[in-house]
Structure 1
Amino acid sequence: MKIGAFEVWPPVVLAPMAGVTNAPFRTLCREQGGGLYVSEMITTRALVERNAKTLAMIRFEPGERPRSVQLYGVDPTVVGRAVAMVAEEGLADHVDLNFGCPVPKVTRRGGGSALPYKRDLLRRILRAAVAASGTLPVTIKMRKGIDDDHLTYLDAGRIAAEEGVSAVALHARTAVQHYGGTADWDAIARLKDAVPQIPVLGNGDIWSADDAVRMMRRTGCDGVVVGRGCLGRPWLFRDLDDAFHGRSERARPTLGEVAATMRRHAELLVECFGSETHGVLDFRKHVGWYLKGFTVGADARRALATAPSLDVLREHLATLPADQPWPGEAADGPRGKSTPRDRVHLPDGWLDDPCDGTVSPEAELETSGG
């Protein structure tokens, strides 16, 4: 799979996930296999205003190539300035634009998965981004639409291709589905048929390497985007590497091997943030994902998820039964929250006119991270 000048093999992309796909997690995943590993969501307004927290989030390891950053924005002018900043200051090698985030604080401002409904605004954003990108490839990630009555992905894909976007990724759910229900892989096939001139990547319900291979065979897509399936399971990228090279081996780590990865993950976070307290606190969200399916009592899980320091965390990890085997199906399947929403929070009157490209002054978020 080719994105701009970059050959991506295997054709696998780590989905940007707020609070997850920082440099430490990307390091753990990249060590397992090839692909493209994308940063957390960076807000364009915060970037152009040189917000200190946002600038710290654009952190890549020395050997991390290509460096991929995901930007979120609603104002074409601000998005253009942010992309120009990335290109001119060498902050990254590839820019992905977020049109898929379904969280209320984003959609109620008309951003994320709400934005492609405004076709003209989408086109202006993409045109500004591509014009400002220089030699950097620009890609987009989107959803099917707001809900089944307001599907936008085919129009959005065509607009992206017309405006010079290098690839499009489709999370085959609507915004109202959030992460619930089943991803509509047939929609990925329809998008590929609609925009055969650029790579189309599929996203949704890839819990194993075999799922990724099955998606590509069924839909004809050029690559896959892996999100929740790798939570607490960075070795999924080893499986994907093996699968796309025709190898049948699959990672089945023991609990001791998982504990070693957990310990290293926490240590990398502490190093990244320059604060043991910050790093250990940030690691807590990962504990349940790593232990999914293993026989670990509630007290032990609680102790790991509330450890106040690296030393205490290491002590608790050392008490886990290291020889407990990989639990198989109990560790596979959905990870993270999967409940659909009753509705999508949108700006007043958002659905009245899909051609209205007015941008509210309050549309741009001030902080990064989703």
Structure 2
Amino acid sequence: MRLGPLTVGTPVMLSPMAGVTNWPFRVLCEEYGPDGLYVAEMITARALVARNPKALRLCRFAPSEHPRSLQLYGVNPAIVEQAARIVVDESMADHVDLNFGCPVPKVTRRGGGSALPWKTDLLEEIIHRVVRVCEPAGIPVTAKFRVGIDHDHETFLESGRIAQGEGCAAVTLHARTTAEYYGGHSDWTRIGELVEHLDIPVFGNGDIWGADDAVAMVNETGCAGVAIGRGCQGRPWIFADIRNAFEGSDARVRPTLGEVGAVVMRHARLLVEFFDGDERMAVHDLRKHIAWYLKGFPVGGSVRAAFMGCESLAEVQAIIDGLDQRAQLPERIVDKPRGRVRFAKKVHLPYGWLESRRTTHAEREQLFGDDPMDAEY
């Protein structure tokens, strides 16, 4: 796949996930599928402009990462443009993705994420400004969005048309509405509709838990590539499986528990580097990944609890050494969903958001006010 001057050898993307896709995890994924696109977790534009230390940490990439992909989130077009200018001027990334798909209430209630495409003027202006900054530097811009706020307020076809018209190199569609959150099964037919509607590449996203799912999505929808979110949690080797499947190979990575333990320790060591040598912080960050790595293996609750109490790499290694190194993941749960399935929930939007497709002067004043939370993590 071509994205402006970039070539993506295998059309597979690691979707940004807050608290998950920092560079240590991206490096693990990239090692299994070295020619994909691995996007950093969402960076709040105002926080980057304010030089928030955590935002700057999240903008860091490992030397092995290429292309370097960074996702920006914001509601104020001027602030998002400033953030894009920083990315360009400081050579922070080779590819910029724009987030219009996050369904989290603290984002949507301020008009951001998956709420924003309802306001077509904001969507157009943000994409236009960012492309205008990035294009001269040879940095392709892509956008990710959902089907709509709910099925009475769908926006994905219009969002795709706007993204294409304003110069995006590709788009990603998570085939759920905001109201559906992560519940049920995503509706892949909507991805097919978007593919028919656009000339630029479309990445399909939603419910890809294994390589066969990726192939099925491409075959059913005609999408140019796939984006993997929750499907890679605790199993970065899914990118090797998808690469093999796209090349027509049946080869799959099926690690033993001992091999998974080795991945966990590599992940932990990379996290220590990410946190500038702070081993305790690294091990604490690893905890959420442990649950995903171990899911389905014959590991008791007491062992899982022991992992949650670890404060050092040595303690993590000691527990791993005590596991059954030859244990296999039962075939019945290979490539099955893992992690919590979050079902439909109430959508939180700014007051009167659905009354008009364009922002009023009053709405802009409310949305663009100096909110200190927008510059923090």
- What letter is aligned with 1:268? L
Q: Distance in 2 between matches of 1:363 and 1:42?
A: 17
Q: Which range moved further: 79-88 or 168-177?
A: 79-88
Q: Distance in 1 between matches of 2:121 and 2:370?
A: 16
Q: Distance in 2 between matches of 1:234 and 1:63?
A: 16
- What letter is aligned with 1:236? I
Aligned equivalent of 1:97: 98
Aligned equivalent of 1:260: 262
The correspondence of residues 148-167 of structure 1 with structure 2, limited to 5 A, is 148-167=151-170
Q: CA deviation at 1:335?
A: 2.1
Q: CA deviation at 1:311?
A: 0.9
Q: Distance in 1 between matches of 2:259 and 2:55?
A: 33
Give the counterpart of 1:178 among 175, 178, 181. Answer: 181
- Any runs of at least 4 consecutive aligned residues in structure 1 with deviations exceeding 4 A, and if so which? 362-365
TM-score when normalising by structure 2: 0.95
Q: CA deviation at 1:341?
A: 3.2
Say yes or no: does 1:13 pair with 2:3: no
Aligned equivalent of 1:193: 196
Say yes or no: does 1:361 pair with 2:368: yes
Q: Which has the higher contact order (CA 8 A, sep 6+)?
A: 1
Distance 1:367 1:49, change over 3 A: closer
Q: Distance in 2 between matches of 1:362 and 1:269?
A: 36
| 8 Å contact from structure 2 (residues 27, 64) kept in 1 | no
Q: Distance in 2 between matches of 1:206 and 1:49?
A: 36
Q: Which range moved further: 125-134 or 336-345?
A: 336-345
- What letter is aligned with 1:344? V
Aligned equivalent of 2:30: 30
Question: Deviation per CA, 1:310-339, whole angstroms, max 9, x where unpaired?
Answer: 111110111110011232232432222212
Aligned equivalent of 1:147: 150
In the alignment, structure 1 segments of 5+ residues that lack a partner are none
Structure 1 residue matching 2:32: 3-state secondary structure: coil
Say yes or no: does 1:234 pair with 2:236: yes
Q: Distance in 2 between matches of 1:218 and 1:368?
A: 41
Give the counterpart of 2:252 among 237, 250, 253. Answer: 250
The correspondence of residues 216-231 of structure 1 with structure 2, limited to 5 A, is 216-231=218-233
RMSD over equivalenced CA pairs, Å? 1.3
Q: Distance in 2 between matches of 1:137 and 1:312?
A: 43
Q: Distance in 2 between matches of 1:25 and 1:363?
A: 33
Q: CA deviation at 1:286?
A: 0.7
The correspondence of residues 1-370 of structure 1 with structure 2, limited to 5 A, is 1-33=1-33, 34-133=35-134, 134=136, 135-195=138-198, 197-274=199-276, 275-356=278-359, 358-359=363-364, 360-362=367-369, 366-367=374-375
Q: CA deviation at 1:228?
A: 0.4
Question: Deviation per CA, 1:224-280, whole angstroms, max 9, x where unpaired?
Answer: 000100000001011011111111111110011011111111111111102111100
Structure 1 residue matching 2:356: 3-state secondary structure: coil
Distance 1:208 1:163, change over 3 A: same
Q: CA deviation at 1:361?
A: 2.8
TM-score when normalising by structure 1: 0.97
Q: Which range moved further: 339-348 or 313-322?
A: 339-348
How many residues align structurally? 368
| 8 Å contact from structure 1 (residues 46, 366) kept in 2 | yes
Q: Distance in 2 between matches of 1:119 and 1:328?
A: 47
Q: CA deviation at 1:300?
A: 0.6
Q: Distance in 1 between matches of 2:376 and 2:325?
A: 38
Structure 2 residue matching 1:31: 3-state secondary structure: helix
Distance 1:172 1:337, change over 3 A: same
| 8 Å contact from structure 1 (residues 99, 111) kept in 2 | yes
| 8 Å contact from structure 2 (residues 52, 376) kept in 1 | no
Q: CA deviation at 1:81?
A: 1.0
Q: Distance in 1 between matches of 2:333 and 2:215?
A: 21
Q: CA deviation at 1:367?
A: 4.2
Structure 1 residue matching 2:39: 3-state secondary structure: strand
Q: Distance in 1 between matches of 2:162 and 2:91?
A: 27
Q: Distance in 1 between matches of 2:179 and 2:341?
A: 12
| 8 Å contact from structure 1 (residues 41, 368) kept in 2 | no
Distance 1:289 1:362, change over 3 A: farther
Q: CA deviation at 1:132?
A: 1.2
Question: Deviation per CA, 1:73-112, whole angstroms, max 9, x where unpaired?
Answer: 0011111111111112101010000000011110000000
Q: Distance in 2 between matches of 1:171 and 1:16?
A: 12
Q: CA deviation at 1:306?
A: 2.0
Distance 1:269 1:368, change over 3 A: farther
Q: Distance in 2 between matches of 1:93 and 1:32?
A: 21
| 8 Å contact from structure 1 (residues 74, 363) kept in 2 | no
Distance 1:180 1:362, change over 3 A: farther
